[in-house]
Chain A
Amino acid sequence: MKALMTTPRTTPGTTSRSARPDGTRRRPLTRGIGIQVILWSYAGIAFGPLLLVLMGSFRSNAEILRAPVGLPSSFDVSNYVRAWETASISTYLINSLAVTGASVVLCVSVSALAAYALARWRFRGRALLAAFFLSGLMIPAKLGLLPVFYMFQSMGLIDSRIGLVLLYAAGGIPFSVFVIMGFMRGLPGELEEAARIDGAHEGRLFVSIVLPLMRPALAVVTVFQFAPTWNDFFYPLVLMRSGDKYTIPVGLTRFFGEFAADRGTLFAGLVIALVPLAVVFALATKQIVAGLTAGMSR
Chain B
Amino acid sequence: MVPAQELNVRPARRRRRQAGRTSLGWIAAFCLPAFALYGLFVVVPLVTAFYYGLFRWEGTRQANFVGIGNYREVFTRYPLSEEITAALGHNVLFFVGTMAIQNTIGLGLAVLLHRNPWGKRLFQTLFSLPYLISPLIVGYIWSLLLSPTFGPINYVLRGVGLDSWARPWLGEPDTALPVLILVNAWQWIGGPMLIFGAALAGVPRELEEAAAIDGASAARTFWKVRFPLLIPAVGVITVLTFIGCFNIFDLVYALGGSDGGPGGAMDVLGLLYYRTAFQGGSNAIGESSALAMLIFVFIFGISVVLERALRRREVT
Contact = CB atoms under 8 A, between A and B. Distances in A.
Interface of A: 3, 8-16, 19-21, 32, 35-36, 38-39, 42-43, 45-47, 49-50, 52-53, 56, 64-65, 67-69, 106, 109-111, 113-114, 116-118, 121-123, 126-127, 129-148, 150-151, 166-167, 169-171, 173-174, 177-178, 181-182, 185, 189, 202-203, 206, 227, 230-234, 238, 248-249, 252-253, 256, 263, 266-267, 270, 273-274, 277, 280-281, 285, 288-289, 292-293, 295-296
A131 B31 contact: no
Interface string B146-166: 000011101110000000000
29 contacts: A42-B109, A52-B145, A106-B37, A111-B34, A132-B35, A132-B43, A133-B38, A134-B6, A138-B3, A139-B46, A139-B296, A140-B247, A140-B300, A143-B293, A143-B296, A147-B45, A169-B37, A185-B10, A202-B30, A203-B29, A232-B134, A233-B250, A234-B249, A248-B134, A266-B140, A270-B137, A281-B129, A281-B132, A296-B195
Contacts of A56: 144
Given A32-B118, A46-B127, A233-B250, A144 B236 contact: no
Contacts of A45: 186
Given A116-B30, A140-B295, A173-B38, A147 B52 contact: yes
A143 B46 contact: yes
Contacts of A137: 1-3
A11 B249 CA distance: 38
A134 B15 CA distance: 23
Contacts of A267: 144
Contact of A69 (B26, B41, B155, B273): B155
A202 B37 contact: no
B175 interface: no
A131 B49 CA distance: 21
Interface in B181-221: 186, 189-191, 194-195, 197-199, 201, 205, 208-209, 212-213, 215
A285 B9 CA distance: 32
Interface of B: 1-3, 6-7, 9-10, 12, 14-15, 18-19, 22, 26-27, 29-31, 33-35, 37-38, 40-46, 48-49, 52, 60, 105, 109, 112-121, 123-137, 140-142, 144-145, 150-152, 154-156, 186, 189-191, 194-195, 197-199, 201, 205, 208-209, 212-213, 215, 232-233, 236, 240, 243, 246-247, 249-250, 253-254, 270, 273-274, 277-278, 285, 288-289, 292-293, 295-296, 299-300, 303-304
Contacts of B119: 36, 39
A7 to B, nearest CB: 9
B2 A295 contact: yes
A131 B15 contact: no
A170 B127 contact: no
Contact of A39 (B2, B29, B113, B145): B113
A42 B285 CA distance: 46
